[in-house]
Structure 1
Amino acid sequence: MSFLDKQYREVITRAVCGKGRKFTQATHTISPSHRPSSILGCWVINHLYNAKKISEDTVEINGSYDINVWYSFNDNTKTEVVTERITYCDYVPLSVKDEQCIGDDFDVVAKVVQQPNCLECSISKDDHKINVEVEREFIVQVIGDTKIYVKVAPKEYAHEEDDDEWDFELTDDELKDVNPNFFPHKD
């Protein structure tokens, strides 16, 4: 079959050329000002990230978030919140790749499946620091130019109708079915 045949057309379009997914668990060590007695709470906020394609089969996601740990110290008589900014770099392998993409102009779309959140927060036994275990998950799509071939319908199947040929006037039969009391009366 020749694609130069009159029955087919080459269409160049943007399409998803690659997909990937990455789940990450990481443990971060936080250094509080005081020796902690107990952990009262831990939360992760201010997540920011961006993604770019770095090779044929890998997307790189660079991001950051803040870890806030509320802890007690001085034998549980005082409390404080310690905040630490964490930066990370995740490499997402593309599990689905389309080898038919044209050129090098790619857009990368990264979506968070699981925002970074705290799984466990504990006081380290040896050095009196705080260990925070965090999880996060992304899916990525690489969008690029690709060529598709479509079959053209023969002229006898082509419709050349437009909206001007349609009659939108109400007939007398349609008007007799209209209920004039459809809307409630205002008092």
Structure 2
Amino acid sequence: MSITDKDLQLREIITKAVCGKGRKFSQVSHTVTPANAPTSILGAWIINNQYEAVHSTNGVEVIGSYDINIWYSYDRNTKTDVAKETVSYVDVVPLSFLDKKHKPATAEVYALAVTDPNCVEASISGNGVVIRVEREFKVEMTAETKVCVVVSPHGLDGDEKSYDFDGSDDAEYDDLDLELLDEELS
């Protein structure tokens, strides 16, 4: 028995899937005022980055904080100290991909720090130290959505083509544009 178009039926399957993705790179400046007027900066570090992702109307908000530690000299380079300050931040990451057919009530969001906050420049400005920080986040939203599949009420009747997924027939994939695939996956 062969299958005709009139034998085929559509089914909708409800499943949880990635329904949104986004990525955002940020550069921000912070001014830290040490207890003593700095003469020179000996080092600047960002530590203890903590964050969580929250769904918002504009995408995903990454809400977090980190500690800034600045090792500096003062009193004409005769003494040293470390200035410490905790900074809070909110990065709104827009979703560059969003499946409009997802169920918003089931949405969950996740964030990953692609580039942890890092001090890329520190300079003295008056009695304070201005540091420039870079950070980058990648976010995903998962939710319930519908997938439509074609089914045959008769099942497989032996006339169907057998598919072998062991990778032995790589010739079918020779024409694939791997760069395009990499862009879609990232």
Match of 2:63 in 1: 62
1:131-167 deviations in Å (ceiling 9; x for gaps): 01000000111111100111225545279xxxxxxxx
Provide the secondary structure at the position in 2 that maps to 1:114. Answer: strand
Say if 1:65 and 1:85, in contact at 8 Å, map to a contact too: yes
Q: 1:49 to 1:158 in 2, by over 3 A?
A: farther
Distance in 1 separating the partners of 2:157 and 2:46: 58
Q: Which runs of 4+ in 1 moved over 3 A?
A: 153-156
Match of 1:27 in 2: 29
For structure 2, the residue ranges without an aligned partner over 5 or more in a row are 1-6, 159-186
Match of 2:111 in 1: 110
Say if 1:102 and 1:147, in contact at 8 Å, map to a contact too: no
Distance in 1 separating the partners of 2:84 and 2:104: 44
TM-score between both structures, scaled by the size of structure 1: 0.76
Q: Comparing 24-33 with 100-109, which one deviates more in the overlay? A: 100-109
Match of 1:179 in 2: none
Q: How does 1:17-166 map to 2 (within 5 A)?
A: 17-55=19-57, 57-124=58-125, 127-153=126-152, 155=154, 157=156
How large is the Cα RMSD of the aligned pairs? 1.7
Q: CA deviation at 1:95?
A: 1.2
Say if 2:8 and 2:153, in contact at 8 Å, map to a contact too: no
Say if 1:19 and 1:139, in contact at 8 Å, map to a contact too: yes
1:112-132 deviations in Å (ceiling 9; x for gaps): 1100000101111xx310001
Distance in 1 separating the partners of 2:157 and 2:112: 41
Distance in 2 separating the partners of 1:156 and 1:25: 57
Distance in 1 separating the partners of 2:98 and 2:117: 27
Match of 1:169 in 2: none
Percent identity between the aligned chains?
49
Distance in 2 separating the partners of 1:67 and 1:6: 62
Distance in 1 separating the partners of 2:104 and 2:157: 34
Provide the secondary structure at the position in 1 that maps to 2:107. Answer: strand
Match of 1:172 in 2: none
Query: Greater Rg, structure 1 or structure 2?
Result: 1
Give the total of aligned pairs: 152
Q: 1:75 to 1:158 in 2, by over 3 A?
A: farther
